[in-house]
Structure 1
């Protein structure tokens, strides 16, 4: 990404060719990430995850009973301030996934909508950045502040040369990210939706499934479908 940003600053034909190569390499990397994600099936039992592991991932904004975490020993910490919100562990806290979205120009930062309901006005991605290491947040902010975004560079290159290979490379990178999100939805179906239905003895309706909460407080299914569709909507036409 850093090299692409440097090349985008130059923006000449040589830079465009190099960025095209970087995007082609990115496709391979994201495909490897997808393969690693699906490997979870080899070592994690779906029912054990749902019954014994996932409950510990719940945060204040995803617990249906409204329970909060109690931090033992907090009275012994000088200057302790109660956390206004403590979300559970979420894939949204991965700086890598957010970096891919920002770099490729996926509009995953939109205000909370029907598939990202939350009392605050912040986007889910913005809230999750609070849980990242400081340097990771700084890198994402640096990407967002890039005065020459990749998507605009691709659009300009296509306008100047309709046969530019950068368009295919850019769309291929988006396609790999969309397929990664498809795989994520498969994992969610196996490890969360399926066990939730079994816990309800198969009585869970489609609407009830849609209302499942993610560990980060999102409307799980609606949110995942939403960001996947946003990724697909980012494709460019020549």
Structure 2
């Protein structure tokens, strides 16, 4: 994909937080849009796309999605005008692309030009890769029976691959979590600004509130079981979320071949949608100073900075920022360039204020580590356990490849984002916990 535009604020002062955050496309709902995403593209020119998407679950179930796409005429992106329309087009093409790739007995290594050409153009406009990212599946793919996006019971996914309530609930849980966490963003920005004044009380209170916020996110995550069945998730939903990176066992050893508007082909290996692409969680890491070292690509979660190399592999967390909307990624770059609360909390001193700050910081890192541990337990219920059960499907996809003989080890399971699933999650959790250890040795 093309080089991403780098955005920078006019100044380091975040006192005008509304203006500062809106400049990074961060709304009152955090990284979610200020209002519900478009439900359809307004121009009738795009009716062929929208009609296919309306029928997607049935076309997938009856194995007719590829024939339907193959018959489709290529459409231009010239009739997309507003950013909301570009985002809507990205959602539509993400779902159609993944349905085509994974909607047969074998994965398709070639994405037809009628889909890939506009997908490349839309992705380029949004500074996103042409794959179903977290933004496509969650941030821009929901409707709400009210104005409060935190209310999980009023959320519904606009689109699913399976047509099940389970899948809608799966996406909606993430939407509710993003909305729930929105209020903490300006609170933590104020805490970072307070480092300069050495305002220990303000920072300690912000960290305590962060712990409460992360706890609320964990409570929402606990609700996944209410309406999402692990077996339905594993066999009917998860396969369609996968990308094309590290997916050789699932039938894509070279990735997927795209064609642009001129017919020029290019192979791409891209990570699929995953919660690792949530800007909110990475914001917590950046504020607290949590450092992640894994590339996520190896079962042993090798360091992303191997010895004796001049060009280190980017860490997974750094790499997936290019899978976030461009302005959100730029916001995280800005926050990461600032002095973190870890640096401030680790400064020498033993005053009552400093001791309280450290306790609050330790509590926040523990809360985030506990949240990641809770997520890993969810993965065990929704991926590890189902992967051990016999599957009769002849379709070659991520679920079948993960559960076939020879891939039973937890260390061999691959996530939809292309990571070595369990070892990666364990390392990420442990790196969070160790951040709360006073002056840890490297």
TM-score, normalization: structure 2? 0.48
Identify the match of residue 366 of structure 2 among 166, 171, 175. Answer: 175
Larger RCO, structures 1/2 (Cα 8 Å, 6+ apart)? 1
1:49-69 deviation digits (Å, cap 9, x = unpaired): 000000001111142234244
Could you say which residue in structure 2 is the equivalent of 1:141?
333
1:17-51 deviation digits (Å, cap 9, x = unpaired): 10000000001100011111111111101000000
Change (3 A) 1:206 1:27: farther
Identify the match of residue 184 of structure 1 among 354, 375, 394. Answer: 375
Written as runs of structure 1 = structure 2, the 5 A alignment for 1:7-86 is: 7-11=194-198, 15-63=199-247, 64-67=249-252, 68-69=255-256, 74-75=259-260, 77=261, 82=266, 84-86=268-270
Could you say which residue in structure 2 is the equivalent of 1:235?
436
Q: Size of the alignment, in residue pairs?
A: 230
Please state whether the residue corresponding to 1:129 is helix, strand or coil.
Answer: helix
1:54-101 deviation digits (Å, cap 9, x = unpaired): 000111114223424466xx55x3697746332111111001111111
Change (3 A) 1:207 1:50: closer
Please state whether the residue corresponding to 2:389 is helix, strand or coil.
Answer: helix
Tell whether 2:218 aligns with 1:218. Answer: no
Shift of 1:236: 3.0
CA RMSD of superposed structures (Å): 2.9
Question: Please, which moves more after superposition, 95-104 or 23-32?
Answer: 95-104
**C-alpha distance in structure 2 between counterparts of 1:198 and 1:117, whole Å:** 32
Could you say which residue in structure 2 is the equivalent of 1:2?
189
Contact 1:109-1:126 within 8 A present in 2 as well: no
Change (3 A) 1:236 1:97: same
5+ unaligned residues in a row in structure 1: which ranges? none
Tell whether 2:385 aligns with 1:194. Answer: yes
**C-alpha distance in structure 1 between counterparts of 2:381 and 2:257, whole Å:** 31
Max Rg structure: 2
Tell whether 2:262 aligns with 1:115. Answer: no
Please state whether the residue corresponding to 2:377 is helix, strand or coil.
Answer: helix
Could you say which residue in structure 2 is the equivalent of 1:126?
318
Identify the match of residue 89 of structure 1 among 249, 252, 273. Answer: 273
Please state whether the residue corresponding to 2:272 is helix, strand or coil.
Answer: coil
Please state whether the residue corresponding to 1:9 is helix, strand or coil.
Answer: coil
Contact 1:116-1:218 within 8 A present in 2 as well: no
TM-score, normalization: structure 1? 0.85
Runs of 4+ aligned residues of structure 1 deviating over 6 Å after TM superposition are: 200-207
1 or 2, which has the higher helix percentage? 1
Could you say which residue in structure 1 is the equivalent of 2:145?
none
Change (3 A) 1:185 1:21: same
Question: Please, which moves more after superposition, 131-140 or 102-111?
Answer: 102-111
Shift of 1:235: 1.4
Question: Please, which moves more after superposition, 50-59 or 201-210?
Answer: 201-210
Shift of 1:3: 0.5
Change (3 A) 1:199 1:209: farther
1:108-164 deviation digits (Å, cap 9, x = unpaired): 14566732588x811111121111011111111011110x221111112x6242662
**C-alpha distance in structure 1 between counterparts of 2:269 and 2:233, whole Å:** 24
**C-alpha distance in structure 2 between counterparts of 1:212 and 1:79, whole Å:** 36
